[in-house]
Homo-oligomer: A and B are copies of this chain.
Amino acid sequence: MNERPELTRNQTLVLSKLEGQEGPLSAYQLLDLLRDDGFRAPLQVYRALDKLMRAGLVHRLESLNAFVACSGHAHAHAGDVTAFAICDQCGQVIELSDRLVSERLDEWVSKTGFKPTGAVLEFRGACAACQARAA
Spell out A's residues near B (CB within 8 Å): 62-63, 83, 85, 87-88, 94, 96, 98, 101, 104-105, 108-109, 112-128, 131
Contacts and interface: CB of A to CB of B under 8 A. Distances in A.
Given A62-B120, A63-B120, A120-B63, A128 B114 contact: yes
Given A62-B63, A63-B62, A117 B108 contact: no
B109 A117 contact: no
A96 B119 contact: no
B63 A85 contact: no
B62 A122 contact: yes
Given A96-B109, A119-B121, A121-B121, 20 more contacts: A62-B63, A62-B122, A85-B109, A85-B112, A88-B117, A96-B112, A101-B104, A104-B104, A109-B123, A109-B125, A113-B127, A113-B128, A114-B127, A115-B125, A115-B126, A116-B124, A117-B124, A118-B123, A119-B122, A120-B121
